[in-house]
Amino acid sequence: MKRVPILWLLFLILTSCAGGGVLNTSELVPPMQPDYTDITFPANIAPLNFKLEGADALELEICGSHAYRFKSGGPTLRFPMKKWKAMLTQEAGNTLQLSLSARMGREWVRYAPFTWDVSADSLDRYLSYRLIEPAYEVWNVLSIEERDIETFETRLLADNTRTEGACINCHTANRGGGAQTSFMHVRGSKGGTLYSRDGQMRKLNTATDSTAGAAVYGEISADGRYGIFTTADIRPILHSGRENKLEVFDASSDLILLDFDQGTVSDSPLVKGAEFQETFPCWSADGRTVYFCRSKALPQPAGTFDMHYDLYAIGFDPSTGRLGDTLQLVIDAAAAGKSISFPKCSPDGKYILLTVSDYGTFPIWHRETDLWLYEIETGAVSRLDGVNGKYSDSYHCWSSTGRWICWASKRDDRLYGKPYFAHVSADGTVSKPFVLPQKDPDSYLTTLKSYNIPELYRFPESYDASFVRRFYSGMEMENMQYTRQCK
């Protein structure tokens, strides 16, 4: 009998698999879109559907406490919802080992294995975001959606085509232990602040004759009674000579305190006036401190590039509704040639997540904008190098457990913001980010809007776009009254 050459025998074995050869390229990371390799994600997340461009078929093997196999007859792998949920329920708290193979023509390519850490730390089920043209000077068509992160279901909370084109912004929830409280500003001649608490809706006029204007950026206290807000004269400009062509600056800005129970607006001489500009206030976890950004006021717009905002704190007494009598400098960002915006305190009281850029207070168009993590007890600052992308990372929030953060990142193309998530461990370690999964992985390429100001919360919102239309057109306005804080 004639011997078959060994090399020829190997060729026959290889080409017998799936009608073509198998090329083992174990050193190559699979170029899946979105990139879901080596990530930590919650056990209650929707399927991480992905695409591998150019593939004619896909096979994914997953090994945990059990073995799982998923196949696709094309370049896109969509996990069946029931099988996905059953797998994550079984594997919560485990690390999964994955191996992806793709058929390219007659040849199969096997990529380097990767891991999924399925965290038992659940993510708040609902996420709101504003869909808006990325350039921001065009905002005549925008909406706010609510997404169920456990499925792919979305619900329209607001649509400015139903409110005479008025700007709608800042849907924010308190993430407190009781019933959800939230607010949303609807601008325009018939607009106001929509304040929702215990399922009851109110339309508030937060501007008074004694303050600089209506409420803008802010937060609601955990119990839903108080709100701390910026009131500002916000102006956009287009300019040349710098990489960031669009700039937004505050011609002036102060802080105001709202007492929703009493229907009052108050302030303090420490956080108002022409000498300094204050903005982006937030509550500490215990509700007894207000953190905010502050810069010495400079003539605008000429001084915009020299505005550097530091992080400050002022005390608050919830029993009296009074702001404190002293200010504390927390981070001197100006000394480092940086500017802080959008501080957000973790619910466990340990950290403040910050947006840091080179100047100014509108970082979303600044290429250099990154997220930094400040540890309150030690004063240590982490630049989160493994979290930040090449382009702007900003407009972040915490989950109610404090174990997840979500933010708008432009890392993929510098133009469109997308919601990214990362896990935060008890010691402050932050995992590799991953983008909000979509039923169709190509949807980020076909949705020509930025996902702006993502906000996590536990319960579905109690209203929708139809109510917001009625709110704008016919709901009675409550005028809040100014009250001066007594020493």
What's the CA gap between 205 and 263, in Å, rounded? 10
Q: For 92-151, how does the pLDDT look when each residue is reduced to its tens digit (9 = 90+)?
A: 999 999 999 999 998 999 999 999 999 999 999 999 999 998 765 555 789 999 999 999
Is residue 149 domain-shared with residue 284, that is, in the same domain? yes
Q: Model-level pTM greater than 0.85?
A: yes
Residue 229: C-alpha distances to residues 142, 178, 292, 315 (Å): 23, 22, 10, 15
Same-domain pairing of 196 and 47 = no
List, for residues 275-314, the tens digit of each pLDDT value: 999 999 999 999 999 999 999 999 888 888 899 999 999 9
Instruction: Tell whether 217 and 320 lie within a shared domain.
Output: yes
Domain membership of residue 61 as a residue range: 6-119
Question: Is the residue at 483 inside a domain?
Answer: no
- Side-chain-side CA neighbours of 117 within 13 Å: the count stands at 13
Residue 469 within any structural domain of the chain: yes
- In this structure, how many other beta carbons lie within 10 angstroms of the beta carbon of residue 426? 9
The phi-psi region of residue 310 (left if phi > 0; otherwise alpha if psi is between -120 and 50; otherwise beta) is beta
Residues 90 and 174 in one domain: no
Choose among 386, 406, 392, 385: nearest CA to 456. Answer: 406
Q: Do 284 and 319 fall into the same domain?
A: yes
The confidence score (pLDDT) of residue 6 equals: 40
Q: Mapping DSSP to helix (H, G, I), strand (E, B) and coil, where does residue 71 land? A: strand
Among 53, 87, 119, give the residue marking a domain's end: 119
The b/e string for 356-377 (b: 16+ C-beta within 10 A; e otherwise) is bbebbbbbbbbebbbbbbbebe
Rounded Cα–Cα distance for residues 417 and 419 (Å): 7
Per the domain annotation, does 487 fall within a domain?
A: no
Is residue 41 in a domain?
A: yes
Question: How many structural domains comprise the chain?
Answer: 2
Token readout for 361 is 């207070």
Residue 484 domain-assigned? no
Task: Look at residue 141 and tell me if it is in a domain.
Answer: yes
Provide the token pair at 147. 């997404």
Q: What is the CATH number of the domain that holds 278?
A: 2.120.10.30
Residues 64 and 136 in one domain: no
Clarify whether residues 313 and 272 are in a common domain.
yes
Last residue of a domain, one of 89, 119, 149: 119
Q: Give residue 48's identity as a one-letter amino acid code.
A: L
Q: What pLDDT is recorded for position 345?
A: 97
Shared domain check, 255 and 372: yes
**CA 475/CA 203 separation, integer angstroms:** 7
Q: Which of 65, 85, 119 is the last residue of a domain?
A: 119
The answer to whether 271 touches 280, Cβ cutoff 8 Å, is no
Say which CATH number the domain at 44 has.
2.60.40
Residue 96 and residue 166 share a domain: no
Cα angle, residue 351 at apex, residues 248 and 117 outer, rounded to 5°: 100
Residues 82 and 191 grouped into a single domain:
no
pLDDT for res 486: 59
Nearest partner of 226 among 254, 200, 195, judged by Cα: 195
- Residues 6+ positions from 4 with CB-CB distance below 8 Å: none
217, part of any domain: yes
Closest of 413, 483, 102, 464 to residue 267, by C-alpha: 483
* HSE of 199, CA atoms in CB hemisphere, 13 A: 0
What pLDDT shows up at residue 17? 35
Rounded Cα distance between 387 and 407, Å, is: 11
Strand boundaries in 333-458, DSSP class E: 339-345, 351-357, 370-375, 381-382, 393-398, 404-409, 418-423, 434-435, 450-457
Beta bridge partners of 314: 290, 327
Angstrom distance (rounded) from CA 256 to CA 151: 38
Mark whether 404 and 336 lie in a shared domain: yes
pLDDT confidence of residue 18? 38
**Low-confidence residues in the chain, pLDDT < 70:** 1-24, 26, 135-139, 176-179, 235, 237-246, 249, 486-487
* Separation in Å, CA 218 to CA 126, 193, 291: 20, 12, 11
Is residue 213 assigned to a domain? yes
Give the separation between CA 180 and CA 324, rounded to whole angstroms.
27
Same domain, 301 and 443: yes
Amino acid at 120: A
